């Protein structure tokens, strides 16, 4: 199994609690993703996330394909970090950690994603041709949006 990693780090003009309130809510996802990628939440989501919380989505990605996605919060340490993992979805494995660290009057926000493709060599080819670039674009768009809204020049 090939394990891939995506990593993004940026400084934002937010308090740790304001950052937590924004990033721990799945309702912000469509606000910060490219137009080709749509996320619809199809399960109830409480005001606060917690370990064991399952969130069901319907995702529309490349070529208009719609797919189910079920994630589970596996780590929840407010307001420092949370990790959600895919229970059902496109990937053989998916783990996304969001870290929030206070530093010099702003926060440092890190996205740390580990994932693996299904379908052996075919999944690796799809990653090389399409999936890897799409994921980078999703996280690049997220980073650009956040920089424009709350970015800090350091």
Give the range among 15-19, 65-69, 123-127 with minimum mean pLDDT.
65-69
Which of 2, 26, 25 is closest to 114 using CA atoms? 2
Q: Is the pTM of this model over 0.85?
A: yes
Residue 5, both tokens: 């990693």
Give the model's pLDDT for residue 47: 87
Structural domain range at position 102: 3-150
Cα torsion angle, 113, 85, 148, 145, sign:
positive
Q: Is the pLDDT of residue 64 over 90?
A: no
Query: What percentage of the chain has pLDDT greater than the value 90?
Result: 81
CA distances from 65 to 27, 38, 58, 113, 119 (A): 21, 10, 10, 22, 18
Chain segment 32-59, per-residue pLDDT in tens: 888 888 899 999 999 899 999 999 999 9
Counting the structural domains of the chain, the total is: 1
DSSP 32: G
3-state secondary structure (DSSP) of residue 44:
coil
CA 132 to chain centre: 14
Residue 77, both tokens: 């340490």
Q: Is the pLDDT of residue 7 over 90?
A: yes
pLDDT band at 154 (very low <50, low <70, confident <90, very high): low
Report the CATH number at residue 57: 3.30.530.20
């Amino acid at each position: 199994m090939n394990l891939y990693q995506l990593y993004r780090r940026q400084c934002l003009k937010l308090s740790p609690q304001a950052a937590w309130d924004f990033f721990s809510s799945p309702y912000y996802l469509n606000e910060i993703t490219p137009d080709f990628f749509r996320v619809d939440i199809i399960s109830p989501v409480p005001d606060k996330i917690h370990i064991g919380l399952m969130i069901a989505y319907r995702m529309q990605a490349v070529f208009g394909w719609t797919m189910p996605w079920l994630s589970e919060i596996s780590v929840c340490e407010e307001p420092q970090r949370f990790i959600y993992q895919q229970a059902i979805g496109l990937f053989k494995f998916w783990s996304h950690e969001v870290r929030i660290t206070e530093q010099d009057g702003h926060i440092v926000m890190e996205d740390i994603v580990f994932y693996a493709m299904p379908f052996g060599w075919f999944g690796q080819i799809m990653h090389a041709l399409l999936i890897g670039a799409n994921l980078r674009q999703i996280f690049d768009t997220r980073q650009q949006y956040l920089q424009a809204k709350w970015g800090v020049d350091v």
